[in-house]
Amino acid sequence: MKGKLSKKKIDQLRKRLARKPQLVWDALGPADKKKVFGFAEKYKGFLDSAKTEREAVRHIEAFAKKKGFKDITKAKGGKKFYKINRNKSIALAVLGKSPLVSGVNLIASHIDAPRLDLKQNPLYEETDLVFLKTHYYGGIKKYQWLARPLAIHGKVLKKDGSHLDLHVGESDKDPVFTISDLLPHLARKAQAEKKVSEAFKGEKLNVLIGSLPMGDDETEERFKLAMLDYLFTTYGLVEEDLVSSEIEIVPAGKARDVGWDQALIGAYGQDDRVCAHAALEAVGEIKAPQTTALALFIDKEEIGSDGSTGAKSRFLEDFTADLLEITGEEAGGKALRSCLMSSRALSADVNCALDPDYQEVHEKRNAARIGYGVCITKFTGSGGKFGSSDANAEYLAQIRKLFNKSRVVWQTGELGKIDEGGGGTIAKFMAVYGMEVLDCGTPLLSMHSPFEIASKADIYMTYKGYRAFFNSK
Ligand code: MN
Ligand code: MN
């Protein structure tokens, strides 16, 4: 036992020994605050132009070209390259001074988001109204998609071989679409007395798209026919074209500042565009790193990372092999394995922030908080870390040291308290290669909702953290 210490001594002791999470706003000077708000404007622009994975790839490619990255499938030499996989995932790299076989610094984020996809035979009429059938993609709370303006984004491959990009519901001049909900007066048995998981059915997520008839009351399916006529006249589409389409229903509208002080951003798709954008800005700035910087933007995370554009595909290997080839390093299997095995990755994905109204689902001492910086998550999973890649302490030590040195305000987080639920990220699919990997991203409120919330301070610290990572050895 120590003797009686003065208050000053006790404060010094605490400062030296205990970790106190730091609020980003307290760490920022006036010039930094300006940067935080400036960065948020760029980010909102990204959110508005990249609501789907295809749109994100287009945006990222345009950004890459502007920053001097070359398509690696066409390039002869250089230092900055990109590659696109089926228009739904993309990777950017800036070659480092060290040989590739000694590993890359990888930041892997995802550019798909929960939404409603059209089924392949979506169009029908019911009670003189025209609808589209949907199948939800990723983890949604179905009721959040009812009675709100929706937009249609997607791609249709037509019979004649041409293709069409649809983008309707975002401009003020555009119409929007919606899914109707039951009035409260009649919802008692159909909804109110049921469990939420049973009250809202996937097969009732039908999008209202029209109500004008053609012909007269002898005409069969005159509302659907009128819609088909509209689609043909406007876009040259016939019904069968929808079989070869990927059309996504997303919340209509732009990203917005939230709160009188405008310190938060509310928008659809911030999981994981907030990390994707931070990684993009960071890789766009890298000049001549010691270690090769690689930013991977992947599709299909929200449905388990399967599919040829998801994290379980071999796109990362393929791009890394291209890099080995273009640098003249040995491009064989051994070199590729060594490179990936020696790499360090940040799995750039969001985590949940402590929800002020549902604090009971979190364990407060380990939950991420809005405004406390970029969030490091050692493990995800559920039922005893099941399905998590669980980062190595040695690697956590490196990242912690790096962030402290680079004045990145960071915090730790977890996905809810033990056995409350859980989830995963693409970290484990990067870990397959034997590389170090740690989840690191922005905390969100209302995650997976049509209007997710993030703090501008945390968004900026995410970018600052990623930039420091790319600049590290
Ligand atoms: Mn995510
Ligand atoms: Mn998600």
Q: What is the CATH number of the domain that holds 455?
A: 3.40.630.10
CA 343 to CA 352: how far, in whole Å?
A: 27
The answer as to whether 165 is a domain residue is yes
From the CA of 140, the nearest ligand is 2
Give the CATH number, domain containing residue 156: 2.30.250.10
210 in the same domain as 106: no
Strands 104-110 and 344-347: parallel
Q: Say what percent of the chain tops pLDDT 90.
A: 96
Res. 4 pLDDT band, cuts 50 70 90: confident
Show the domain range for 140.
115-251
Q: Looking at the 3D structure of the chain, how many domains does it have?
A: 2
Based on the fold, state whether residues 131 and 227 are members of the same structural domain.
Answer: yes
Domain identity same for 65 and 150: no
Q: Would you list the DSSP string of 2-68?
A: --PPPHHHHHHHHHHHS-----HHHH--HHHHHHHHHHHHHHHHHHHH-SSHHHHHHHHHHHHHHTT
Q: How confident is the model at residue 272 (pLDDT cuts 50, 70, 90)?
A: very high
* Over residues 157-183, mean pLDDT: 97
Q: Is residue 446 part of a domain?
A: yes
Query: Residue 330's pLDDT is what?
Result: 78
Start-to-end CA distance of the chain, whole Å, equals 44
H-assigned helices in 249-386? 270-285, 315-326, 333-341
Ligand 1 centroid distance, CA of 318 (Å): 23
Q: What is the pLDDT of residue 329?
A: 83
Does any domain span residue 8? no
Return the ligand number nearest the Cα of 351: 1
Q: Is residue 384 part of a domain?
A: yes
Is 274 in the same domain as 151?
no
Tell me, what's the pLDDT at 2?
66
470 CA → ligand 2 middle, Å: 24
Instruction: Say if 256 falls within a structural domain.
Output: no
Does residue 281 sit in the same domain as residue 172? no
Q: Are 223 and 128 in contact (CB under 8 A)?
A: yes
How far, in whole angstroms, is CA 297 from its chain's centroid? Answer: 9
Distance 422 CA to ligand 1 centre (A): 13
What confidence tens digit (pLDDT) does each residue in 280-289 have?
999 999 999 9
Of 81, 95, 192, give the one whose Cα is nearest residue 143.
192
Span from the CA of 271 to the centroid of ligand 2 (angstroms): 5
Answer yes or no: do 170 and 280 share one domain.
no
Q: Which two tokens stand for residue 349?
A: 């994905």
The answer to whether residue 186 sits within a structural domain is: yes
* Average of per-residue pLDDT values in the chain: 96
Distance 302 CA to ligand 2 centre (A): 5
Question: Among 216, 251, 286, where does a domain finish?
Answer: 251
pLDDT in tens, 347-403: 999 999 999 999 999 999 999 999 999 999 999 999 999 999 999 999 999 999 999
Domain boundary among 251, 282, 306: 251
Asked whether residue 93 falls in the same domain as residue 174, the answer is no
Among 199, 226, 251, the domain-final residue is 251
Q: Please check whether residues 89 and 155 belong to one and the same domain.
A: no
The distance from CA 162 to its chain's CA centroid, rounded to whole angstroms, is 30
Do 287 and 432 fall within a single domain? Answer: yes
Q: In 3-state terms, what secondary structure has residue 171?
A: coil
Q: Are residues 327 and 302 part of one domain?
A: yes
Q: Is position 5 within any domain?
A: no
Shortest-distance ligand to the CA of residue 275: 1
Cα of 141 to ligand 2 centre, how many Å? 12
Residues 461 and 391 in one domain: yes
Is residue 6, in this structure, part of any structural domain at all? Answer: no
Q: Cα of 424 to ligand 1 centre, how many Å?
A: 8
| d(CA 257, ligand 1 centre) in Å | 21
User: Ligand 1 centre and the CA of 426: distance in Å?
Assistant: 8
User: 283 with 417, same domain?
Assistant: yes
User: What would the pLDDT profile of 294-329 be if each residue is shown by its tens digit?
Assistant: 999 999 999 999 999 999 999 999 999 999 999 988
